[in-house]
């Protein structure tokens, strides 16, 4: 199991660490139920101060039972535990089945935030500090990851690590590196191991070469180093080699860092696109924006199309942030959607914003139109059909009308995989941040498609 996929996401930390505020926001963005254990105890049993007045032991018993109850629920939730809850051995054992993130806080900050709140354990500074020191070991024991804010929790929950600068990758067991040959000429490989150089091409031919050449055993790990073509390919090879071995993604394109390497979709292109594939989640995704320094401008533009898509879906101008923050925020947004719906049974389909029209144009061009330019046009269509201003797409991506045959594009649009009862499902926006899946009359779809084509 990777991170919090399909499991409860539990936040632990001392009083004043922000468990409730961050937990509520993580729950909202992953569309999971939120339970704040202290609030739930108060709702059922009255004020915590009163319970404490009757004896801390009673309070701990109630806390333990309630944690057990929430952790036994089948629907994955976000659970903020009280500061003392992780000291219970029974709760510690139950947390083994969940994904636990520790939100550390500085003792000074914690004291400043809680000293006037009347909490029973924040009455005097001396004992507060002692308690702080005693609790650290329990947080360390139960934590699967450490995070400092909402995006950090979302990253951790999908095993994404964002940071500038090469860090040698440490992995247990045998490994093999599948690397884009071009990237390997420009950057140091992320770990010292057997290297398989590949073309940036997710074809059956390249997959076959890899299947034949790989020597990793079942408990080995394949590391993918390259753009979306390489991570899709290596992830798929990992999903199928020996019926599945673990893999780690080190994306080297902007599109890869904000989108393609995140979320477990792997596959090959067959004739059309992505017709063969598997869900196989990478154990870790290492995102280092420094790797983008060598990226050709057209590849950066292609990646910006995914950034604009993400910003429109999230309802935030993510493209205005500095590069590292922009990438981190896009990765967090994608993680939030994938955590709601890992296998695209519902919400995850919103990530196709702009892609339905984009794919049709790409297909009609015989794949000579660049993917990023096609997505930019697709986003334009989505904004027009949503009745929203086109500015972000026009200003950031300057889409140019496609030189393709309109009939061919229309035929390609009608062949799209994303259909419901025979009708094409498109993603529109009620407003930025409010995506919606819908169907539209053919005439309207055709008009929008034609408006993207040079005529
Ligand atoms: N799995 C998913 O969820 C998902 C999502 C979006 C896109 N994709 C897939 O991703 C693929 C496109 O990936 P991409 O846009 O990342 O491009 P890519 O992997 O095809 O690479 C594009 C070019 O950039 C080069 N390159 C890569 N990193 C570089 C670097 N750091 N410096 C210089 N050159 C570099 C490559 O050699 C290649 O020539 C498509 O096949 C698409 O279907 C998958």
Instruction: Select from 162, 156, 161 the least CA-distant residue to 30.
Output: 156
Q: Considering only CA atoms, which residue is closest to atom 35 of ligand 1? A: 295
| Average pLDDT score over residue span 373-397 | 96
Where is average pLDDT lowest: 76-80, 114-118, 134-138, 286-290? 114-118
Q: Is the CB of 310 under 6 A from ligand 1?
A: no
DSSP codes, 187-203? S--SSSSEEEEE-S---
Tens digits of per-residue pLDDT, 169-180? 999 999 999 999
Q: Tell me the C-alpha to C-alpha distance, in Å, between residue 273 and each of 52, 113, 170, 280.
A: 61, 53, 34, 18
Answer for the pair 202, 233: CB distance below 8 angstroms, yes or no: yes
Q: Considering only CA atoms, which residue is closest to atom 27 of ligand 1? A: 227
Tens digits of per-residue pLDDT, 411-422? 999 987 677 778
Interaxial angle between packed helices 442-450 and 355-364, expressed in degrees from 0 to 180 and rounded to the nearest 10 = 60
Predicted confidence (pLDDT) at residue 455 exceeds the cutoff of 90: no
The CA 399 to ligand 1 mean position distance, Å, reads 20
| Average pLDDT score over residue span 297-308 | 96
Q: Is 265 a catalytic residue?
A: yes
Q: Considering only CA atoms, which residue is closest to atom 39 of ligand 1? A: 200
% of the chain with per-residue pLDDT over 70: 99
Query: How far from chain centre, in Å, is Cα 139?
Result: 25
Q: Is 344 a catalytic residue?
A: yes
Answer for the pair 38, 117: CB distance below 8 angstroms, yes or no: no
Measured from the Cα of 273, ligand 1's closest atom is: 43
Answer for the pair 222, 245: CB distance below 8 angstroms, yes or no: yes
φ, ψ (nearest 5 deg) of residue 149: -155, -175
What is the spatial distance between Cα 339 and Cα 361, in angstroms, rounded to a whole number? Answer: 30
Answer for the pair 438, 426: CB distance below 8 angstroms, yes or no: yes
Q: Is the CB of 255 under 6 A from ligand 1?
A: yes
Q: What sections of 341-389 are H helices per DSSP? A: 355-364, 371-386
Sequence-distant (6+) residues with CB within 8 A of 264 are 2, 235, 279, 280, 281, 282, 338, 342
The CA 227 to ligand 1 mean position distance, Å, reads 3
Tens digits of per-residue pLDDT, 338-375? 999 999 999 999 999 999 999 999 999 998 999 899 99
- Rg of the chain over CA atoms, in angstroms? 24
Q: What pLDDT shows up at residue 415?
A: 86
Which of 186, 258, 260 to mutate to test ligand 1, by most ligand atoms within 8 A of the CB atom? Answer: 260
Predicted confidence (pLDDT) at residue 390 exceeds the cutoff of 80: yes
In three-state secondary structure terms, 121 is coil
Tens digits of per-residue pLDDT, 203-215? 999 999 999 999 9
Task: Name residue, tokens 């929008």.
Answer: 448
Q: Is 196 a catalytic residue?
A: no
Q: Is the CB of 263 under 6 A from ligand 1?
A: yes
Q: Which residue among 25, 63, 306, 362 is the active-site one?
A: 306
What is the spatial distance between Cα 418 and Cα 59, in angstroms, rounded to a whole number? Answer: 51
Q: Is 243 a catalytic residue?
A: yes
Answer for the pair 183, 252: CB distance below 8 angstroms, yes or no: yes
The CA 179 to ligand 1 mean position distance, Å, reads 12
pTM, whole model, 2 decimals?
Answer: 0.96
Residue 271's pLDDT band, with cuts at 50, 70 and 90, is confident
Residue 272's pLDDT band, with cuts at 50, 70 and 90, is low
Q: Is 148 a catalytic residue?
A: no
Tens digits of per-residue pLDDT, 256-266? 999 999 999 99
What is the spatial distance between Cα 17 and Cα 148, in angstroms, rounded to a whole number? Answer: 9
Task: Name residue, tokens 């992995």.
Answer: 171
What is the spatial distance between Cα 157 and Cα 281, in angstroms, rounded to a whole number? Answer: 12
Tens digits of per-residue pLDDT, 129-149? 999 999 999 999 999 999 999
| CB-count burial class (<10 Å; 0-12, 13-18, 19+) for 42 | middle
Q: Is 8 a catalytic residue?
A: no
Residue 406's pLDDT band, with cuts at 50, 70 and 90, is very high
Q: Is the CB of 86 under 6 A from ligand 1?
A: no
Q: Is the CB of 258 under 6 A from ligand 1?
A: no
Q: Which residue among 265, 284, 301, 309 is the active-site one?
A: 265
Q: Is the CB of 282 under 6 A from ligand 1?
A: no
| Average pLDDT score over residue span 217-241 | 98
Q: Which residue among 344, 418, 446, 447 is the active-site one?
A: 344
Q: Is 355 a catalytic residue?
A: yes
Give the mean pLDDT of the chain: 95
């Amino acid at each position: 199991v990777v991170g919090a996929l399909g499991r409860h996401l539990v936040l632990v930390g001392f009083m004043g660490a922000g468990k409730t505020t961050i937990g509520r926001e993580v729950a909202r963005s992953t569309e999971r139920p939120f339970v704040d254990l202290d609030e739930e105890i108060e709702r059922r049993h009255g004020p915590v101060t009163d319970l404490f007045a009757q004896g801390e032991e009673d309070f701990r018993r109630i806390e333990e039972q309630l944690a057990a109850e929430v952790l036994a629920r089948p629907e994955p939730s976000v659970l903020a535990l009280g500061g003392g809850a992780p000291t219970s051995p029974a709760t510690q054992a139950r947390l083994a089945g969940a994904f636990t993130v520790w939100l550390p806080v500085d003792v000074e900050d914690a004291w400043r935030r809680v000293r006037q709140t009347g909490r029973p354990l924040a009455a005097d500074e001396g004992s507060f500090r002692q308690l702080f020191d005693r609790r650290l070991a329990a947080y360390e024991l139960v934590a699967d990851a450490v995070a400092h804010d909402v995006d950090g929790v979302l990253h951790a929950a999908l095993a994404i690590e964002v940071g500038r600068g090469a860090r040698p990758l440490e992995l247990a067991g045998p490994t093999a590196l599948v690397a884009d040959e071009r990237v390997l000429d420009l950057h140091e490989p992320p770990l010292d191991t057997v290297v398989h150089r590949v073309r940036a091409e997710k074809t059956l031919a390249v997959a076959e070469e890899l299947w034949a050449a790989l020597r990793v055993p079942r408990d080995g790990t394949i590391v993918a180093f390259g753009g979306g073509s390489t991570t899709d390919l290596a992830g798929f090879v990992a999903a199928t080699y020996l019926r599945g071995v673990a893999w780690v993604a080190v994306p080297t394109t902007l599109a890869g860092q904000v989108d393609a390497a995140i979320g477990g979709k792997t596959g090959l292109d067959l004739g059309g696109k992505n017709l063969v594939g598997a869900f196989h989640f990478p154990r870790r995704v290492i995102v280092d924006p420094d790797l983008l320094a060598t990226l050709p401008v057209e590849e950066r533009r292609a990646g910006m199309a995914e950034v604009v898509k993400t910003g429109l879906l999230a309802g935030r101008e993510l493209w205005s942030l500095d590069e590292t923050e922009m990438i981190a925020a896009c990765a967090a947004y994608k993680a939030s959607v994938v955590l709601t719906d890992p296998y695209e049974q519902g919400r995850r389909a919103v990530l196709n914003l702009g892609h339905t029209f984009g794919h049709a144009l790409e297909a009609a061009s015989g794949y000579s139109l660049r993917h990023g330019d096609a997505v930019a046009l697709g986003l334009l269509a989505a904004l027009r059909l949503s009745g929203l201003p086109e500015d972000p797409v026009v200003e950031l991506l300057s889409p140019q009308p496609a030189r393709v045959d309109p009939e061919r594009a229309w035929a390609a649009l009608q062949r799209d995989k994303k259909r419901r009862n025979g009708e094409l499902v498109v993603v529109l926006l009620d407003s930025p941040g409010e995506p919606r899946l819908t169907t539209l009359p053919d005439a309207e779809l055709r008009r929008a498609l034609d408006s993207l084509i040079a005529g």
